Amino acid sequence: MNEEEKALVKSYFSPKKLRKKQYLLQEGDACKYLAFVEQGLLRSYNVDDKAVEHMLQFAWEGWWISDTYSFLSGEPAAYNIDAIEDAELLLITLPHFEEMMLQVPRMERYFRILFQKNIISKERRLLSSISLTAEEKYLRLQHSNPELVQRIPQQLIASYLGITPETLSRIRKTIVQKK
């Protein structure tokens, strides 16, 4: 990308800082922004009838996060997004996003490829989810994404895997014992 393009792309975004525990998006609101994480750590999740949180995604430096459906459709968001660690973001609105796609074909391509990669990783997580035991899921996550396991609090990892914190605690114990 040349300097001119870089400047143009940058002009579509606005910076935003978020303190730990602050919301970027709350369920029910329209998701106005797609966020690029420059610094820090965010999560998206939903909350069920029993007030249990279910992690959809974590996003740190270099990752994108939003409620994709709400962002694109304008419908109320199904998910919450908040900061697990203080964060610095670059935000883009849908009109700016669409404009950018048209003005900078390179970005259209960038996002098509980004989305491809996202699909591939979601497919893997899905297959883990439907085919592995709790322990296998944890071990595979640890193997495929060690930074996540290291950086994210344990209860959130449990939620991400679809198991209870107690079960994860016990699994970790047996893994240590096996060594």
Partner DNA sequence: AAATGCACTTGATATTTATCAAGTAATGCT
Partner DNA sequence: AGCATTACTTGATAAATATCAAGTGCATTT
Which single residue is written with the structure tokens 């035991």?
Answer: 133
Distance between CA atoms of residues 104 and 98, nearest Å: 10
Residue 85 identity: E
Nearer to DNA among residue 41 and residue 92 (C-beta):
41
What tokens were used for 60?
């740190």
Rounded to 5°, angle at Cα 116 from 111 and 121: 125
The partner in contact with residue 165, picked from a second copy, DNA, none with C-beta cut-offs of 5 to 8 angstroms by kind, is DNA
Residue 159, both tokens: 């939620």
Helix (H) or strand (E) holding 117: helix 105-131
Is 133 among the residues that bind DNA (CB under 7 A)? yes
Tell the smallest beta-carbon distance from residue 101 to DNA (Å).
39
**Is there binding between residue 76 and DNA (CB under 7 A)?**
no
Choose among DNA, a second copy, none what residue 167 binds, the Cβ cut-off being 5 to 8 Å by kind.
DNA
Least Å distance, CB 48 to a second copy, is: 6
Query: What is the rounded end-to-end Cα distance, in angstroms, of the chain?
Result: 49
Distance CA 23, CA 82 (A): 4
Beta strands in 61-163 (DSSP E): 64-65, 80-93
Q: Footprint of a second copy on this chain (CB under 8 A)?
A: 46, 48, 52, 54-56, 68-69, 72, 101, 105, 108-109, 111-112, 115-116, 118-120, 122-123, 125-127, 129-131, 159-162
With CB under 7 A as the contact rule, the residue among 91, 134, 139, 148 that binds DNA is 134
Reference 55, options 130, 147, 156; nearest CA is 156
Q: Does 142 bind DNA (CB under 7 A)?
A: no
Q: Residue 34's binding partner, choosing from a second copy, DNA, none, with beta-carbon cut-off 5 to 8 A by kind? A: none
Residue 166 touches which of DNA, a second copy, none (Cβ within 5-8 Å per kind): DNA
Which residues sit at the interface with DNA, rule CB under 7 A? 133-135, 153-155, 162-170, 172-173
